[in-house]
Amino acid sequence: MAQENELFISDKIALQESRSFQQKSNFVESQSNSLTDFIYQRMEWQVDPAIRFISGKITTHFISKTDSLQLLEFDLSSELSTDSILIRGKQWSFTHENNKLSINLPEPVATNQTDSVTVFYHGVPPSTGFISFATSTHGSAFTPVLWTLSEPYGAMDWWPCKQSLADKIDSIDVLVTSPKQYYAASNGILVSEKENETNRIMHWKHRFPIATYLVAIAVTDYKRYSDYLLSATGDTIEILNYVYPENLEKAKTETPVTADLIQLFENIIGPYPFASEKYGHAQFGWGGGMEHQTMSFMGKFSYGLIAHELAHQWFGNFITLGSWQDIWLNEGFATYLTGLSYENIETEWWPVWKQVYSDEIKQEPDGSVFVTDTTSVSRIFSSRLSYAKGAYLLHMLRWVIGDAAFFQGLKNYFSDPEIANGFARSADVIKHFELEADTSLTEFFNDWLYGEGYPLYTANFIAIDQQNTLVTLSQQTTHESVDFFEMPVPVRFYNHDQSDSLDLVLQHSVNQQEFIIESPFTVASMIIDPELWLISETEQIVGIPFQKNASGFTIYPNPVESNIYLSKPPAINIHEIRITTVNGAVIKTFHGNASKLNVATLPSGIYVLQAKHASGIFHSTFIKQ
């Protein structure tokens, strides 16, 4: 069992929280990206983890999506040097400036025509974002290790690519040459491993569409082992692990839970999307993790991190966000699926998960899940907003529409052929939840996806009698972008010693909304959202418990439709009876020793009967139906 302080360190959060991380990116996806469809890339790299340097040969096959394609562009850092361009066996001219490698094609390429180009390049990659290309060491022997992490804008730091959230590469081959004491981990299946006197060449093949930022390599003196799982589809899934030698024995005790998690996520969402190839882990020199397609890079093998990176294979990799504004479609989903793994497997940690993320969200009163500033890497990967609040948005949606609609909507989103192996925006997932719940969710998402803040609840209750209680519920919001959060609010009522309780849901649509609660016991106290379904805080609850009258006075029936009766001791004479609102406004007055009171003309609501007599005033609350 991982320690509590390790459970919820996920993914890119670790770096963000470990140091100041405020750089801005001026990267803008090129409009020319829409003019081509990259259908295949063969990536051949030569690296040595002891030296921060890369040389490569990248062959790209593409289809023209325009009538007359004349210019082909790659994103490539200007700090790298382009050696030559090869088109149809001949060297060709190019320009490389402002992080763009531009090639005027020998002749225009017509719509739907296929062509290819090979780029030879080398250099010392810069590092942007989350250290896009890194070299360091591990273990007591300080063994060199090299790894890449391109999200969000770092792929162009180390290879010529189309840095795009609109076009996935349909298929890739990755060939890594390194000194022979090292092994290279990458996407897909290892199809060959060759060794000569000085070098090792490892060839990985991946035959699924892949977003540019999910292409990765890691190289060091790995030890390798595999676990296996029979998938729901009948495929035998290899769970391949590349770990540091000094961590081998410990890792073997930690990674087997991956099989249980795959089975859980298959049950919740659908089949593991890359079952015909593999799932794997490669250890790297960073505190968090990164969900590279079919092979997550892991700083460690804690339960929460394994679950989070695995969840990304469904949401983030198979279905990828179509804009960094919608990062919650990756990180919020992976974070919530990690939470569901606690709910279903490590069950004792499920309440802790909810409390940890609820508290983190409420550290500040503002912030939307939707990202308005995609130039800020730290804002894109805000642990409070993109991860925690994005996950809790899903948790609240589950509460609002119910488990059946929520989980079926999740499955429908995953199986949508229009976004399978492609890109999605928030509207795509909202559509599926609305269809399954058969309701509009516009207000919910306006409040919780685009709006900021959360509600602060106050409540008061008056126990009318031993079975009926008047509850008044109000809220303030922590940010002006949302004037009111319309939500079903879970409330728990207790008797005097909390030996009995009643859970109810108040459909809260206006401030100072009144609810009549019928309970099998006399209500003595109440709490709001005891199971942490909502992002909210309770500021105050004021209650007036029912006090049984010992003077011999009673009123009945209660609730009443037309006539209410007052029963009193025979020796007591009533001087005056008043019917008032709960705020004290007098509505009706009766004089003398009346015992039958006609209240048929009163509007439905809660009222107070006051009976004056020589010894004082008898008070009792009643409900007019």
Q: What is the mean pLDDT of residues 109-130?
A: 94
Instruction: Cite the residue boundaries of each domain of the chain with CATH code 2.60.40.1910.
Output: 455-544
Please, which pLDDT band fits residue 548 given cuts at 50, 70 and 90? low
What is the per-residue pLDDT across 131-143, written as a single tens digit (0 to 9) for each?
899 999 999 999 9
Instruction: Name the CATH architecture for the domain at 554-624.
Output: Sandwich (2.60)
Q: What is the pTM assigned to this prediction?
A: 0.89
Please, which pLDDT band fits residue 24 given cuts at 50, 70 and 90? low
Choose between 337 and 568: higher pLDDT.
337
What pLDDT is attached to residue 10?
58
Cβ distance 218 to 184 under 8 Å?
Answer: yes
What is the number of other CB atoms lying within 10 angstroms of the CB of residue 288? Answer: 25
Q: What is the mean pLDDT of residues 80-84?
A: 98
Q: What is the mean pLDDT of residues 448-457?
A: 98
Range name among 287-296, 515-524, 547-556, 614-623 with the lowest pLDDT average:
547-556
Instruction: Name the CATH architecture for the domain at 455-544.
Output: Sandwich (2.60)
CA dist., res. 164 & res. 170, Å (int): 13
Please, which pLDDT band fits residue 74 given cuts at 50, 70 and 90? very high
Q: Identify whether 559 is preceded by a cis peptide bond (ω within 30 of 0).
A: yes
Q: Which residues of 329-339 are buried (b: 16+ CB within 10 A; e: fewer)?
A: bbbbbbbbbbb
Helix H or strand E segment including 574? strand 574-581
What pLDDT is attached to residue 9?
53
Bridge partners, residue 462, by sequence = 470, 544
| Strands of 124-235, DSSP E | 133-138, 143-148, 172-179, 183-186, 189-195, 199-206, 217-220, 223-230
Instruction: Cite the residue boundaries of each domain of the chain with CATH code 2.60.40.1730.
Output: 4-16+37-322
Class of domain 4-16+37-322: mainly beta
What pLDDT is attached to residue 2?
27
Q: Is residue 145 pLDDT above 90, yes or no?
A: yes
Q: Where are the alpha helices (DSSP H) in 11-62?
A: 13-18
Q: What is the mean pLDDT of residues 87-98?
A: 96
What is the per-residue pLDDT across 310-359, written as a single tens digit (0 to 9) for each?
999 999 999 999 999 999 999 999 999 999 999 999 999 999 999 999 99
Mean pLDDT score across all residues of the chain: 92
What pLDDT is attached to residue 367?
98
Range name among 168-172, 204-208, 460-464 with the lowest pLDDT average:
460-464
Q: Is residue 22 pLDDT above 80, yes or no?
A: no
What is the per-residue pLDDT across 228-263, written as a single tens digit (0 to 9) for each?
998 777 879 999 999 999 999 999 999 999 999 999
CA dist., res. 617 & res. 576, Å (int): 10
Q: Identify whether 557 is preceded by a cis peptide bond (ω within 30 of 0).
A: yes
What pLDDT is attached to residue 604?
86
Please, which pLDDT band fits residue 5 given cuts at 50, 70 and 90? very low
CA dist., res. 429 & res. 435, Å (int): 10
Angstrom CA distances, 271 to 262, 266, 313, 415, 421, stand at 9, 5, 11, 10, 13
What is the per-residue pLDDT across 353-409, written as a single tens digit (0 to 9) for each?
999 999 999 999 999 999 999 999 999 999 999 999 999 999 999 999 999 999 999
Nearest CA to 327 out of 396, 277, 287, 379 is that of: 379
Range name among 4-13, 290-299, 363-372, 561-570 with the lowest pLDDT average:
4-13
Please, which pLDDT band fits residue 547 given cuts at 50, 70 and 90? low
63 CB-contact burial (10 Å; exposed 0-12 / middle 13-18 / buried 19+)? middle
What pLDDT is attached to residue 4?
35
